[in-house]
Structure 1
């Protein structure tokens, strides 16, 4: 396919751009294979560069028959922009081109496969978080090993080719456990706490298992149990909706249900997110009605339940010293939210820039979260149009991290702008990190050799500087968040950034950042002067002693 075949009108003058917070701007519209560009000759007006893949919905509204009209683009980064075109033919051509270019079926036509960075890549983001490096301390012991049993992805199509497993568990037992679990997602390690307690994740037992016994699966959990008298199996799916392990064969494991929500399907998370953004974009309703719509979206309840479930698991690990197995339905959505939040609560490394990147690699990308499928559609696509496999699970995770950041603003090395960047790049990007549904799919399209990693970009010193939290003070302890509803905040920095002008908020942040930087500089200078004073005092005392002795 040639992109030119889809572009009937590549350039058009006299197009008027309408946005939610700015005055209309007239300029020249250019349509390329991957971008929509609108530039204006007006001084001080920034060019619009929009990836076609960022567009969720294209809506057309003709002003009058045989005339042009408005093309409204509702984007996955939550902004809504409109293009006013006066001529009917160009109006129809532009609308058709954008619609086709924003819904390309093959991922290999997306921009990351054509993007070439204009900077020197200092490190390859595709290799810095390999599983053998992330679990190096465990693998240095005699209790764990790397298995290549899934190298052809036949054991579990959504897991990686390399997996860290207990040494005492054979590859045959892994195959048997995978056959027992939904989608082959047998129990794998997520995290080892400082006290030795392990966090594992898996899918629930498959319906085909029909309560049959799987000794290999029991063996894996028994190895993890070790000398502990009990472990916990935490189910994050709707109560009564999932298959579970039988008490008779897992008698040392206590079952706990901490459902994130009444979610008969993951698409319900996206439905809730859609209701939230619908409320945020409605600036005409009264304050009371707006809060009612916000509450009825159920989004903040999902956030609250996510944090609550994570706290329960974290307490089992940290305070009980007991291992935990977390699963939901297929072990991909609510499961990954909980295991990721647990690590941020317990592990200070996950609250650093590199740490959050490593966590997302381990728990989401390498764990087979289907980003391409979940993010094909977003909140503006009508529910009757989008597929049921679409979901805003990763957005729910990022919002939960935002809540932790708000409650513990000094404990995170990264700022909330990094969370927004992760949100955007997970839907559309110049980089290939979030493309594909699994390692198997990424290998098939040769993603690592044909695209650039997002981590390679974010870890460049000049970019990294903009992601650092000026209030950061390393905290090696556990952070226990409040899960009271009153403790939650609406993420206005993300959800309302295209609705309410954020200039004042940004200016205030820059002022705070400057004050904190100044305070740190003064503190460093004070320490330096104090050390100089100590040195001079010591030198003076020594001189006095020497003179006294000589006299």
Structure 2
């Protein structure tokens, strides 16, 4: 196979493996193109069980190795020291797995093999292109939802918007889907001109329509104002058309005023109030990029140190600033929801690129506003529409998790932060969401490493190029299988037609222990409680 040259040792005997929440086992370690496999048979006179452990190479975030001298080895040529080694694998799902290997050379071979296989450059060689689960057909679950379906629901509420194919073959904006929803009053030619005025050609498009107040939530990238104060009449007309006759709207820029000014000197900027007279500009900054990734790294380190017995847990948790990022994300989404629900005004959300924190804020705002997004199907549609089809670059942002500090390139945990905010909502409103914590954890795991093709690539255009629908299985198809789906349902769910306003008080935001500590503490009691709840509601999970 194409990856065989990266495997320096394919099999090692008598390897002792220590995994979280299970006793150590000893067996044969095999390295395949996509998996690390331990086959352990029971040893006579011990309590060891027959087991087989499989680990995807792509789920490994960091590889560490150490060598230990274990004694004097006599040979014909004289005496020498015998060495063993330990390979520590820190995984993207927060597992820490130790491989104790009885030979120093094999230790280095295994470490180098896993390191190479866990960081492949060629996407088409990744495991989803080879994974063929029994009983599953290619194409099932692709796509989870389409813009046509979304538009059909919108058309039943208003005729002021239209479905445009101006982006057919991704010729206008490479990170947008081929079909987008825009005001009826805007022609395709006008949209092309407006696109040229926005970074990455991400011009304002519909994200959500409020059926009662008849106002829209839009998203875009920053305008290319630049130091010479450029403007676009087509962009101005597009935003005025989105107001649908309303006297005003709000533009929420998720950067500080200083960041927006600095962006203008580099060719970007934010909307000029003299040109957009019907729009009021608000700044609600959200942390982004390397700073957000560093926050996750500090949090992961703190959780691991606490598991090992480190003290000063609360001060280290506060220093990571992760909970502060959750607070700011929920506050910004709440502001957008308040403008739409209480003020009855249209909202445009954008930052710089419009494909990261912008999507975080628009998707959370929809969870707050719309009971449909809180259902199992609606939540999956939301992720498909607001993250996958909207062009969030999963391949870049989720290349690494949070174990390694010094190798941050374009990684940043926007999607993980979104899922954490969703968990906060499920905790504050335990009956409002049809899905449970296990679904959120599963999505986080698959976003970083998966057997399925759903979260591969950085845009719909790239997914078309790699033909993911034809060559890989969809995660949605598996999650909605009857046997799997029942594990992700909230047993006490009751549809709540009202807006759910999240609390951002310090005591209301907590660490998502079910994700960040899931391999540091047993979930036995939580699973028992979950099973008992299903029994009380009279259903079998």
Q: Same fold (TM over 0.5)?
A: yes
Return the offset for 1:507: 2.3
Q: Which residue number corresponds to residue 167 of structure 1?
A: 184
> 1:497-508 alignment to 2 at 5 Å?
497-508=518-529
- For the 8 Å contact 2:182–2:206, the answer to whether it is kept is yes
Quick one: distance in 2 between partners of 1:494 and 1:371?
19
The correspondence for 2:360, drawn from 337, 341, 344, is 337
Residue 433 of structure 1 is matched in structure 2 by: 454
> What is the SS of the residue equivalent to 1:240?
helix
Match of 1:549 in 2: none
SS at the partner of 2:344?
Answer: coil
Once the two structures are overlaid, the 10-residue window that deviates more, 145-154 or 291-300, is: 145-154
In 2, Cα distance between the equivalents of 1:94 and 1:216?
58
The corresponding residue for 2:222 is: 204
Distance 2:457 2:509 in 1: 33
Residues 26 and 515 of structure 1: is their aligned pair in 2 closer, same or farther, counting only changes over 3 Å?
A: same
Structure 1 21/248 Cα, relative in aligned 2: closer, same or farther at 3 Å? same
Cα distance in 2 between the residues matched to 1:295 and 1:46: 40
The residue correspondences of 1:444-483 to structure 2 (distance < 5 A) are: 444-483=465-504
- Three-state SS of the structure 2 residue aligned to 1:97 is helix
Structural mapping, 1:184-263, within 5 Å: 184-195=201-212, 196-206=214-224, 208=226, 210-242=228-260, 243-261=269-287, 263=288
Tell me the equivalent position of 2:303: 280
Matches within 5 A, 1:46-57: 46-57=51-62
Cα drift, residue 121 of structure 1: 4.5
Q: Which residue of 411, 425, 429 maps to 1:390? A: 411
Residue 206 of structure 2 aligns to a residue whose secondary structure is strand
Is 1:176 the counterpart of 2:181? The answer is no
Give the deviation of 1:442 after TM superposition. 1.0
**Which residue in 2 is equivalent to 1:124?**
140
Deviation by residue 1:96-123 (Cα, 9 ceiling, x = unmatched): 1111110110111111100112124498
Deviation (angstroms), 1:66: 6.2
SS at match of 1:161: coil
Q: Give 1:49 deviation, angstroms.
A: 1.2
Distance 1:472 1:26 in 2: 44
* Distance of aligned partners of 1:256 and 1:32 in 2 relative to their CA distance in 1, 3 Å threshold: same
Question: What TM-score, normalized by structure 2, do the two folds share?
Answer: 0.91
Return the TM-score normalized by structure 1: 0.90
Q: Secondary structure of 2:37's match?
A: strand
1:60 to 56, 65, 68: 65
Superposition deviation, residue 237 in structure 1: 2.1
Which whole-Å CA distance do the structure 1 matches of 2:327 and 2:355 have between them? 19
- Point out the structure with the larger strand share: 2
| 1:317 counterpart = 2:340 | yes
Residues 105-116 of structure 1 aligned to structure 2 (within 5 Å): 105-116=121-132
Cα distance, 1:210–1:40 mapped onto 2, change above 3 Å: farther
SS of the equivalent of 1:339 reads: helix
Deviation sequence 1:287-314 (CA, Å, 0-9, x none): 5x11000000000000011001111110
How far off is 1:39 after superposition? Answer: 2.3
Q: Is the 8 A contact 1:122 1:460 kept in 2?
A: no
1:80 aligns with 2:103: no
Q: 1:145 aligns with which of 128, 153, 162?
A: 162
CA offset digits 1:217-247 (Å, max 9, x no partner): 1111111112211100011123420221000
> What is the match of residue 75 of structure 2?
none
State the shift of 1:208 in Å. 4.3
1:484 aligns with 2:505: yes
- CA shift in 2, pair 1:55/1:132, >3 Å: same
Q: CA RMSD in A?
A: 1.9
Are 1:412 and 2:412 counterparts?
A: no
Quick check: 2:174–2:461 contact (8 Å CA) kept in 1?
yes
Q: Bigger CA drift: 446-455 or 163-172?
A: 163-172
Aligned mates of 2:3, 2:141 — CA distance in 1: 29
Cα distance in 2 between the residues matched to 1:49 and 1:494 = 21
Task: Tell me the residue number matched to 2:72.
Answer: none
In 1, Cα distance between equivalents of 2:168 and 2:233? 24
| Long gaps (5+) in structure 2 | 43-47, 70-80, 261-268
C-alpha contact 2:138 2:469 (8 A) present in aligned 1: no
What is residue 376 of structure 1 aligned with on the other side? 399
Q: Distance in 2 between matches of 1:492 and 1:371?
A: 24
Structure index of larger Rg: 1
Check the 8 A contact 2:139/2:470 in 1, yes or no. Answer: no
Q: Is the 8 A contact 2:225 2:270 kept in 1?
A: no
Following superposition, the deviation at residue 359 of structure 1 comes to 0.3
